[in-house]
A = this chain, B = another copy of it.
Amino acid sequence: MQPSGKQLSTTQRAVHLLREMIFRGDLAAGSDHLESELAVRLEMSRTPIREAALTLESQGLLELRPRKGVRILPVSPDDMEEIYDVLTELECLAARRAAEANYSRHDLKALAAAIENMEHALEIKDLENWAKSDDLFHRELVRLGQNSRAFSVFEMMNDQVRRARSVTLFMRPLPVQSNEDHRQLYEAIAKGDATRAVEIHRDHRQNAKHMMLDLLSKHRLNSV
């Protein structure tokens, strides 16, 4: 993801490490952690921890609560609904722009590859890899939309979806329809049919939202 030869600053490392700890549940949703505690844990001073926390706060992953430490934000079903609604609009915008952009099949290679991977993962029932490729597909779609702001908001929101998915992935039925949708979207974009691309994708996302909300409602914790 970042093959830059530059060696990253302590603050950047803190951001990465904290993100990972949050995603793998090492820092549980809803839990509180003192800055100083995190500092010793990551073997650095409070300063980079604080700066990283500020960054992550603006990304909606945690919250700084004076004297209570940083709180890892849980994602409730209501939050998920908001997130999916925003994602739907941004991805549909991307789908429309991508369809209008007259991309060649070659330009859409990454999109096609993601579909292939998903189909293969689906065949061997490798959900982890399916999810990874699905993610890649959506990210590539938004990238093709050529709107850097939409992209960065997408990434922020998508982070939260990934978090929720880590809990719901194995509760859901096999995503056969999902793969079908992706293929149709790909075709619509390749053909330059913007209206259809948006139509397909809006449905696709709306279904995903309902699926997610349904699964979350069945989940004992009901927030992640």
Residues of A within 8 A of B (CB): 50-51, 54-55, 58-60, 82-83, 85-86, 88-90, 92-93, 97, 147-150, 153, 157
Contacts and interface: CB of A to CB of B under 8 A. Distances in A.
A93 B85 contact: yes
Nearest to A88: B93
Nearest to A89: B89
A91 to B, nearest CB: 10
Contact of A86 (B55, B60, B82, B147): B147
A149 B59 CA distance: 11
Nearest to A146: B82
A89 B85 contact: no
Contacts of A157: 149
Which among A82, A89, A150 has the greatest number of chain B C-beta atoms within 10 A? A89
Contact of A85 (B50, B58, B88, B150): B150
Nearest to A52: B54
Nearest to A81: B147
A83 B149 contact: yes
A215 to B, nearest CB: 20
Contacts of A82: 147-150
A24 to B, nearest CB: 24
A149 B61 CA distance: 13
A46 B86 CA distance: 36
3 A-B pairs with the lowest CB-CB distances in the bound complex, closest first: A58-B58, A89-B89, A82-B147
A217 B54 CA distance: 37
A131 B54 CA distance: 32
Given A54-B55, A58-B55, A85 B153 contact: no
